[in-house]
Structure 1
């Protein structure tokens, strides 16, 4: 496959992930689309699937080789897939990312921003926060102050 065809498939994969079209994502991955392709801003299909809670699409991308800890760099999407999913409380997507090796302690913004746990706690997503802690996320003083009490 030549460079032009790879780029075209990458764009189509990205749009399919963005729109939540599971069948098309599967089709483009089978055709050889690169699961790590990013748009001109640096946003990856895994990021857009994660930020929109598309667990099945995230699973397919990860199985095809998308890197679970790769940070997107597009405007408004400058974080990791796990931070994106945790921010919105998409527990199933968080579970998929963790199952494929996402680091629960990897802070966004190249290590200088918030952790997935901080996002989950800040958004009052207690189920997501508990899943992250079970996966080894280390609570900080900031997250401990805002974490819902278990009762």
Structure 2
């Protein structure tokens, strides 16, 4: 697959993930879209799904090989998927990420930023805090 096609697929996959379009995500993955590829701005499909609380879409992407701790770099979309889900109190999405190996203590911004637990506490999102603590977050 050529570079232009990969780029187009990445853009479409991020869009489908952002809007919880499960069928679109499945179709794009089936045509060869890389679940780990970021769009032109640096946003990963998994991050886009997680910030919107799209737990089912996040699960699809993780099962297709999206790395659970990959940081997104797009403007307004910086950070890890778990930090994004925790920030907005998306409990089910947090559970999906943890079940697929996301690190509950990983600081975003390449280790210099906040942890998912710190984001959940800033919310405040007590149910999300409880789920993260059950997973061993400090």
Bin for the TM-score computed over the shorter chain:
over 0.9
Q: What is the aligned partner in structure 1 of residue 134 from structure 2?
A: 134
Q: What is the aligned partner in structure 1 of residue 26 from structure 2?
A: 26
Q: What is the aligned partner in structure 1 of residue 44 from structure 2?
A: 44
Residues 121-140 of structure 1: per-residue CA shift (max 9 Å, x gap): 111211110110111101xx
TM normalised by structure 1 equals 0.88
Q: Could you say which structure has the larger radius of gyration?
A: 1
Q: Work out which structure has the larger RCO, using CA pairs closer than 8 Å and 6 or more positions apart in sequence.
A: 2
Q: Distance in 2 between matches of 1:9 and 1:23?
A: 15
Q: Is the 8 A contact 2:13 2:33 kept in 1?
A: yes
Q: What is the aligned partner in structure 2 of residue 11 from structure 1?
A: 11
TM normalised by structure 2 equals 0.95
How far does residue 4 in structure 1 lie from its aligned partner after superposition? 2.7
Secondary structure in 2 matching 1:73: strand
Q: What is the 5 A alignment of 1:79-98? A: 79-98=79-98
| Structure 2 alignment gaps of length 5 or more | none
The structure with the greater share of residues assigned to strand is 2
Secondary structure in 2 matching 1:78: strand
